Structure 1
Amino acid sequence: MDSAKGPTEWGEGRHGVGPWEGPWPEDPRYDPEFLAHGDTRNVVDAYRYWSLEAIRTDLDTRRHPFHVAIENFENDMNIGTVVRTANAFLAQAVHIVGRKRWNRRGAMVTDRYQHIIHHETVADLAAWAAERGLELVAVDNTPGSVPLETARLPRECVLVFGQEGPGISEDTAVAATMTCSIAQFGSTRSINAGVAAGIAMHAWIRQHGDVKQSW
C-alpha cells in the first residue's frame, strides 16, 4: 500500500476525502487502505482511492510521446519542479543527465507517478533517443536559437534543459537537432529552469496535445 501521507503545497491543509461511505467497490484498482482511512493525496478526483500502481498503469495508457531531460552536473535544485510539471503535462518520461541524486522535495511526490530515467552523459541520452527515433530539442537563449513561440516542435522528441545559470552544455548544443529560445522582455538574461520547462512543455501541448482529454 502507498501511504496517504505526503507534503502539501503552500502549507495548506491536506486535500482529499474521508473513508469510503457505503459498500466498498469491487474494482481492484481501489486501495483498501484508502477506502478504510480516506485519501488525502493531491490527485485528481478520478483517481481518488486508487492504488499508486493502478494510477501509474492508467497514466501509462495516456502518456504523450514527448520526453523531458534536464542536466544535473551541478546538482540543480529545479529538477523537482521539472518532474512535477512533466507529470502535469503527462510526459512519457523525465531524464536526469549527470548526477543521479536530486532533491525530490520540489516534485511534491509526483515522482511516484512519473518514469525517471538516468543517463551519465549527454552522449548516453543522445544514443538512447536515437535508438527510439526521438529528436533532441534544446531549450536555451543561445545564439542561433529559434523562437519557441513560432517553432514547430517535433511530436516525438526530448525537450532538454540546462542547469540554472550556465544553461545547456556544449555537448547538448551539439547533439540537439534544434535549439529553441523563450522570448523575454525584462532585465535578466535567463529565467528559472523549472519555469522554462513548463513553458516549453505547454508549447508542445498547444501544438500536439488534445485538450479534450485533460482533466
Structure 2
Amino acid sequence: MTDAENPPPSQGDAAEPRSTDAGGPASPQEAPPTHGVGPWPGGADAWPDDPRYDRDLLENGDTRNVVDEYRYWSMDAIVADLDAKRHPFHVAIENWQHDLNIGSIVRSANAFLAAEVHIVGKRRWNRRGAMVTDRYQHVRHHEDVAAFAAWAREAGLPVIAVDNVEGSVPVDRADLPEACVLLFGQEGPGLSPEAIEAATGVVEITQYGSTRSINAASAAAVIMYEWCRRWA
C-alpha cells in the first residue's frame, strides 16, 4: 500500500486548442488546463489502505472540483472532515425571485467553510452557480423571514444583514461577531423590510465608484472573507 497522506499531484488533462483573437487555434501550451487526476498509479495493489478513499475514484481518476487534500476521498468522508472544522458563521439568502446569485453564494460559503447555508423563501434555487459544492455544504430551508428569525433566536445567533441602506455601518468598522448569521438579499431589490427588521445589525461594503451596489454574490464573498480575516 502507498502512503495515503501523499496522493499523486493534480495534473492537467489534454485540452482542445482554443481560438485566439487572431482567428487561429492556440498552441497546446496556451490551452487552459482542466484540473484532475487519473487513476491511482500502480493499480489496485498500490491503493492506500484508508477507508476515506473511494475505490471507484482510485480506479478511474478524480476530476471533481476539490482541493488536492481531498483527491480520491469519498463525498461522505470529505463532508465529515469539513464538519469537524467548520467556522461558526452561517450564511442566509432571501430567495423570492429565483436569484441566479444563490448558487455562487453557496459556492463561496463552501470555500470559506461556513457552518450552514439558509435559503429563506422559495425552496427551489438555481444550483448551477454552486458548481456541485452544495453536496459538501449543509443547506437548510426556511419558509419565510419569520421562520428564519425564529430559528436564529433559538440558536442564539445574531443576524447581521448586508445591504447599503440608511443606518448601515461599513463592515470594516462594524462589529462582526464570531458566531453569527450573515444575511444577504436579492440582486436588485436587496433585503426585504422584514429581513432588515429581523437583523441585529446592518453592514455595508464601502464603495468608491458610481454604481450604487455590487453584485450580490460578489458582496457575499467580500463579507465572508472579512469574517475569515478577523476570526479564521
- TM-score computed with the length of structure 1 as normaliser: 0.90
Considering Cα pairs closer than 8 Å and 6+ residues apart, tell me whether 1 or 2 has the greater RCO: 1
Alignment of 1:30-179 (within 5 A): 30-179=53-202
TM-superposed CA distance for 1:14, in Å, is: 3.3
- TM-score computed with the length of structure 2 as normaliser: 0.84
TM-superposed CA distance for 1:200, in Å, is: 0.5
Q: Distance in 1 between matches of 2:160 and 2:56?
A: 42
Q: Distance in 2 between matches of 1:75 and 1:45?
A: 33
Identity %: 64
Q: Distance in 2 between matches of 1:181 and 1:44?
A: 31
Q: Distance in 1 between matches of 2:211 and 2:128?
A: 26
CA RMSD of aligned residues (A): 1.1
Q: Distance in 2 between matches of 1:70 and 1:191?
A: 16
TM-superposed CA distance for 1:75, in Å, is: 1.1
TM-superposed CA distance for 1:130, in Å, is: 0.8
The SS at the match of 1:26 is: coil
Q: Distance in 2 between matches of 1:13 and 1:72?
A: 35
CA-to-aligned-CA distance 1:30-87 (integer Å, 9 cap, x gap):
0000000011112111101000000000000010000000100111110000000000
Gaps of 5+ in 2: 1-30
Report the counterpart of residue 51 of structure 2 in structure 1. Answer: 28
The SS at the match of 2:176 is: coil
Residue 118 of structure 1 aligns to which amino acid in structure 2? H
Number of aligned pairs? 199
TM-superposed CA distance for 1:12, in Å, is: 5.3
